[in-house]
Structure 1
Amino acid sequence: MQDDMSGREVLRFAPSPNGWLHLGHAYSALFAFDMARRLGGRLLLRIEDIDIGRCREEYLEGIYEDLAWLGIEWETPVRRQSEHFTDYEAALRKLRSMGLVYPCFATRKEINDAILASGIPLQAWPSDPDGAPLYPGICKNMPKARLNELMWEGRSYAWRLDMEKAVREAVRINGGPITFHEDGESPRGDTGLISIEPELFGDVVIARKDVPTSYHLAVTVDDALQGVTLVTRGQDLFSATYIHRILQVLLGLPAPRYHHHGLIRDDTGRRLSKSAKDMGLKELRAEGITPADIRRMVRLD
């Protein structure tokens, strides 16, 4: 684990190279950069490229070009998650040894079919903070012999965190309820010490057969290994902190502070996204937009 012996704050910007950066990314990157300068801290750049199928080198080069154009400076070397799967495998092994994860072989269709079989319409089934239907527990209590049989057959599977057991163990380790410190503002408008509610996610996926991690596990491990002390990110990731905090406790990792900031939205109130193919910084730059214009557009001038 890398600790910043100088006592300086350590922040990070962690984009995924699966599309071009847009104004929302610019706001988040500039926010972290400005915060690091204001605090006299360090800014790290981390490339979250565990989704190897969607990530492309041209997008990675675009990230470097866009950030440099914005005037953002970061430390090197840059950590790429795809080069550190062994770190995440080690964390997964620890959770497995604690009996807190189990393999789930159910496909998305099988999960939907199980929900429908319950007699509850999909639209009425409880969903997690990200809008996905809560896992109905198809494989949770499957006999071990059957699980081994499915693994032997080579079936694809995901490792799910047994949230009920995980919360119980984390509270025991922590010696009481688990909280995190919010320096910014939650979507509810509160700040300061906030209690986690990981049960809202149910038995969340934290790794897969072909990729030994998930966003949640990788970001938790990386923040600890890189000595991050202050995580700045959008309010759309506020609830994810519940999962990250419980993993930190279970894995014996330090807890950074968090500052969740507002999101950049279009005129209709929709937040910008790569999937919606919102105009990228590369296109804006080609149209003659300047870094100063970008700061005005995201209200950081």
Structure 2
Amino acid sequence: MITRFAPSPTGPLHLGHAYSALLASDMAREEGGALLLRIEDIDQSRSRPEWERQIEDDLHWLGINWPTPVLRQSDRIPAYRSALELLWERGLLYPCTCTRRDIYEAASAPQEGARTGPDGVIYPGTCRGKARTGPLPDGAMRLDMSRALNGLESIEFQDTGAQNPGNHNVSAISMLETVGDIVVARRDFGTSYHLSVVVDDAFQNITHVVRGADLFEATQIHVLLQTLLGYPTPVYHHHRLIRDENGRRLAKRDDARALSLYRREGLTPQNIRALVGL
């Protein structure tokens, strides 16, 4: 078993992060496997070295260890480019110049009605007819979902988490209707979360992906990209979310629940385990 904890160094770790990291570490230890740390820093405008240092310090304090060197996505841009080139050569991508406002307005037209999916507002297809010849261009790129699913009736994956347990089969028709043409490269990143996480999971030989239930709907996207790129599909374990007193899932804006503050107040790693139900 090889799993990973993959935070973005854009803020402090909170109790939700602690639960996910501890759960993944515990699962790997029980199976005699390994937990890898991956720093997902493709958003260089928001990533900070001081947050990365704080993440590692908090994880060590929790008693979590990992092999080195740590993989950083900012070092992996050529690998993401190679994956994009493979998809481009198969005619599965097209460039997109739409802004978020353009997409929302087009998708909100009276005859359309804006619908959202795991990649946000479902793209109305404005740029789908653009030329796809020549070398892979720079800029934002989308996956032509209709072409990507051609010849596939469905995609399948296994989830061992308590939230959505069992074998899942998502039909191609469902993906066309509820996901749409996802972004696989952003203008300012050269990649996207969906593409980079799939490429890195394959590169690191991840066998089990342990993450929050809020990412369950995105899994169908990741399994499709794995299929298109010839990668194996890991076993997924989507766990419950740690929520505040109002039932909202924790986010990095919830600095009052940052691990560093609990540490300053004198709590122990055992106290943190109790707080998150471990």
Superposition deviation, residue 277 in structure 1:
4.0
Alpha carbons 1:272, 1:278 under 8 Å: kept: no
Structure-2 residue corresponding to 1:232: 210
Q: Which of 126, 129, 146 lines up with 1:164 in the alignment?
A: 146
Deviations 1:223-268 (A, max 9, x none): 1110110111000011111011000000001111111100000111
Which TM-score applies when normalising by structure 1? 0.85
Matches of 2:122 and 2:186 in 1, distance apart?
18
Amino acid at match of 1:214: S
Which whole-Å CA distance do the structure 1 matches of 2:69 and 2:183 have between them? 30
Does residue 182 of structure 1 match 2:182? no
CA contact (8 A) 1:106 1:157 kept: no
Q: What percentage of residue pairs aligned between the two structures are identical?
A: 50
- Structure 1: gaps of 5 or more residues: 1-8
- Cα 1:26–1:103 shift into 2, 3 Å: same
- Residue 119 of structure 1 and its aligned partner are, at CA, apart by 1.9
Structure 2 partner of 1:96 = 88
8 Å CA contact 1:198–1:246 kept in 2: the answer is no
- Written as runs of structure 1 = structure 2, the 5 A alignment for 1:1-301 is 9-116=1-108, 118-119=109-110, 124-129=113-118, 132-142=120-130, 144=131, 157-169=139-151, 171=152, 177-186=154-163, 189=164, 191-196=165-170, 197-199=174-176, 200-300=178-278
Specify whether residues 270 and 120 from structure 1 end up closer, same or farther in structure 2 by C-alpha distance, changes over 3 A only: farther
Name the amino acid aligned to 2:110. Answer: G
Letter in 2 for 1:241: T
- The root-mean-square deviation of aligned C-alpha atoms, in Å, is 2.0
**1:71-128: CA deviation from partner (whole Å, max 9, x where unpaired):** 0111111100101111110000000011111011011122223234x3258xx52111
Asked whether the equivalents of residues 155 and 224 of structure 2 are also in contact (C-alpha less than 8 Å), the reply is yes
TM-score, structure 2 as length reference: 0.92
Q: Report deviation, 1:216.
A: 0.5
1:4 equivalent in structure 2:
none
Cα distance in 1, alignment partners of residues 175 and 30 from structure 2: 32
User: Alpha-carbon deviations, 1:112-155, whole Å to 9, x = none?
Assistant: 23234x3258xx5211136x32111111124x39x99xx7xxxx
- Runs of 4+ with >6 A deviation: none
2:158 counterpart letter in structure 1: H
Q: Which runs of 5+ in 2 are unaligned?
A: none
